Chain A
C-alpha cells in the first residue's frame, strides 16, 4: 500500500510539473519581464538603460495617463452600476411567471455571444447615422451630431455598447441566483402580507447577495479592461476623451515607443485591479455575513 501511494504521488508530480512550467513560461515570466521593463527606458527596440522609478514618477504627472485613468474609472463605475441594476431587473422579470420564458431568456443573452469588435462597428453606424437622423427629425439638439464625435458624450456611446453586452451575462447569473431562493420563502412572505417591494428588499435581495458579489467583481473587472469597443467605436478619441488604460498601453506601448513607460502603467493597472477586486470581495463578504 505504501509503495502504491508514492507511485500515485509520482504521477501527480509528473502531471503538474509540465503544467506549472507552461503556466510559468507564459504567465509569470512575462509578468516578471514586464515589471523589469517598467524600470527601463526601453522603446520596444534598440538599446535601453535602467532608470529606477522614473517611469512610475512620470506616470503620476503624465496628463494623458491621468486622463485615461479618469475615463476608465468613470466608465467602469457607471457601467457596473447600470449593468447590475438593469440585469437584476431583467432577471426578476425573466424569472417571474411569464410566457415564452426560455425563448425570452435565450434572446436576451444574444448580445453576450457576439464579439465586442463587430458589435462596436454596428453601433458606430447607429451613433453616426441613425441617431443624428432621429435627432434631426425630432429636433433633439444633442443628437443632431454623432455622439462619438463629441468630446463630452463619446464615452456614453462606448458605455451603451458595453452595457448592452454585459447585461446579458449578468442577467443569466442573477437568474441562477433567484432560482436558489426556495419557493416557500416567497409563500411565507406573502402570508405575512409583505408588499412586493418589501419582499424584494427584505427577502429576495439578501438571499441573492452572493450573486451580487460575483456580478460586481466580474463586471467591474471587465469594464476596467475595456478594449474591443474602444478599438471599434472611437479609437480613444475624440481628443483622447475615451482612451481606456488597456487601449493606451496597447497603443503607446506597442507602436508609440513607450514600451518601458507603458509597462510601468500596466504594473500599476494590475495593482489597481487586484486592489479593487480584493476590496469588493472583503466588503461584500462582510455584508453577506451580516445578512
Chain B
C-alpha cells in the first residue's frame, strides 16, 4: 500500500513537460496579439519572442472592429437564457417522464422518442430549420435559444431521468399525503434535490452553446447580430493579413470562457465526468 502512494516524480515531470502541448498555442496567440505587424519576421522568433512593448492597442482596435461588447452581450444572453430555461424545463420534463413511466401508458415511449433525438445530426435539420425559423419570425437570438432547448433536450432529459432513480419515492408520497400538489412537490422537494444534476446540465449546456458556431451562423445570418465565435468568422476578411489584430480578437473571444473555467474548474470537471458516465 505504501509503495503505491509514493510520488512518481518521473511521471510527474513528464506530465508537466507535456503541458507544453496545451500552453504553446495559447502562448503564441498571446504573444502575437501584443505585437505590431512590423515585428512579425519570417522566422520562429518572429512569432514567439516577446513584443518590443506590451501595448493593448491591438485589443482596443479588435474590440472596435468586431463590435466586441455587442457580440459578448449576445453570447452571454443566449448562453445564460438557455441554461436557465434548460434547467427549469428539462428538469421538470425529466421528473415527469421518470415518474410517469411507472404509472402512465405512453410515457416510456415519450422517453425513448425524446432521447433518440440525440442521434439526429444538425445537418439534416439545418436547411429546413432555416426556412422554418424564418417563416415563424424566429431567425434571431430567441430562435437560437429555442433551438438549443430542443437540441439539448435529449441529453438533459436522459441525465435528469437517470438521476431521479436516486430520489426516493417516499418523499413525494409523504408530501402527497400532506396534501401538496404535484406541482408544489416538484418545486419544493424534488427540484432542490436535483442540485448536483442541475450543475452538470448547466455546465454541459453552457460549454456546448457558448462555443457553437453552426446554429447562430445559419439561423441569425440575416440579423447582423453576432455571437463571440461568429464574430471571429464574420470579421475574418476585415482582419486581412493583420494577424496581430486577428489574434487580439481571438484572445478576447477566449478570455470569458477561460475565466469561467478558472473559477469553476472543479465543478466543470465533475460535471463533465458526471454527464458522460450517467449518459
Chain A residues engaging chain B, CB cutoff 8 angstroms: 4-5, 7-9, 11-13, 15-16, 19-20, 22-23, 26-27, 29-31, 33-34, 37, 44, 93-94, 96-100, 102, 104-119, 121-123, 125-126, 129-130, 133-134, 137, 164, 169, 172-173, 175-177, 183, 186-187, 190, 211, 214, 218, 225, 227-228, 231-232, 245-246, 249-250, 253-254, 259, 262-263, 266-267, 269-270, 273-274, 277
* Binding-face segment, B49-57, B161-169, B188-196, B252-260: B252-260
Interface string of B101-127 (1 = CB under 8 A from A): 001100100100110010111111111
Once the chains are docked, how many angstroms separate the CA of A122 from the CA of B18? 19
Q: Are A119 and B1 in contact (CB under 8 A)?
A: no
Q: Are B265 and A114 in contact (CB under 8 A)?
A: no
Q: Are A30 and B15 in contact (CB under 8 A)?
A: no
Task: Decide: A15 near B93, CB < 8 A? Known: A7-B182, A96-B11, A115-B229.
Answer: yes
Chain A residues with Cβ below 8 Å from B268 are 109, 113
Once the chains are docked, how many angstroms separate the CA of A5 from the CA of B100? 11
Q: Are A98 and B12 in contact (CB under 8 A)?
A: yes
Chain B residues engaging chain A, CB cutoff 8 angstroms: 1, 4-9, 11-12, 14-16, 18-19, 21-23, 25-26, 28-29, 32, 42-44, 47-48, 89, 92-93, 96-97, 99-100, 103-104, 107, 110, 113-114, 117, 119-132, 146-147, 149-151, 153, 176, 181-183, 207, 210-211, 213-214, 218, 228-229, 232-233, 243, 246-247, 250, 253-254, 257-258, 261, 265-266, 268-269, 272-274, 276-277, 279
5 pairs of residues in contact across A and B, judged by CB atoms under 8 Å: A11-B183, A19-B114, A22-B150, A96-B11, A130-B44
Chain B residues with Cβ below 8 Å from A273 are 119, 121
Q: Are A99 and B12 in contact (CB under 8 A)?
A: yes
Q: Are A121 and B182 in contact (CB under 8 A)?
A: no
Which of A114, A186, A253 has a CB less than 8 Å from the CB of B211?
A114
Once the chains are docked, how many angstroms separate the CA of A133 from the CA of B4? 45
In the complex, which of the residues B21, B26, B96 has the most CB atoms of chain A within 10 Å of its own CB atom? B96
- Within the complex, the shortest CB–CB distance from B141 to chain A, in Å, comes to 15
CB-nearest residue of chain B relative to A30? B128
- Within the complex, the shortest CB–CB distance from B103 to chain A, in Å, comes to 7
- Within the complex, the shortest CB–CB distance from B197 to chain A, in Å, comes to 16
Chain B residues with Cβ below 8 Å from A227 are 213-214
Which of A23, A172, A218 has a CB less than 8 Å from the CB of B273?
A172
Which of B6, B127, B150 has a CB less than 8 Å from the CB of A259?
B127
Which of A8, A29, A104, A277 has a CB less than 8 Å from the CB of B15?
A104
Once the chains are docked, how many angstroms separate the CA of A154 from the CA of B261? 32
Q: Are B150 and A214 in contact (CB under 8 A)?
A: no
Q: Are A31 and B124 in contact (CB under 8 A)?
A: yes
Q: Are B93 and A115 in contact (CB under 8 A)?
A: no
Q: Are B44 and A133 in contact (CB under 8 A)?
A: yes
Once the chains are docked, how many angstroms separate the CA of A216 from the CA of B52? 47
Task: Decide: A23 near B123, CB < 8 A? Known: A11-B181, A108-B19.
Answer: no
- Within the complex, the shortest CB–CB distance from B269 to chain A, in Å, comes to 6
| Extra 14 A-B pairs, beta carbons < 8 Å, given A118-B253, A277-B119 | A19-B89, A22-B146, A27-B150, A37-B127, A109-B269, A112-B272, A125-B47, A129-B42, A129-B47, A137-B43, A225-B122, A231-B233, A254-B130, A263-B128
Task: Decide: A122 near B8, CB < 8 A? Known: A19-B89, A249-B123, A266-B121.
Answer: no
- Within the complex, the shortest CB–CB distance from A221 to chain B, in Å, comes to 8
Chain A residues with Cβ below 8 Å from B274 are 176
Chain B residues with Cβ below 8 Å from A263 are 124, 127-128
Q: Are B265 and A97 in contact (CB under 8 A)?
A: no
Chain A residues with Cβ below 8 Å from B29 are 122
Q: Are B25 and A122 in contact (CB under 8 A)?
A: yes
- Within the complex, the shortest CB–CB distance from B6 to chain A, in Å, comes to 6
Q: Are A16 and B119 in contact (CB under 8 A)?
A: no
Q: Are B16 and A104 in contact (CB under 8 A)?
A: yes
In the complex, which of the residues B123, B150, B214, B247 has the most CB atoms of chain A within 10 Å of its own CB atom? B123
CB-nearest residue of chain B relative to A270? B124
Chain B residues with Cβ below 8 Å from A111 are 22
Task: Decide: A114 near B254, CB < 8 A? Known: A122-B25, A173-B276, A231-B233.
Answer: yes
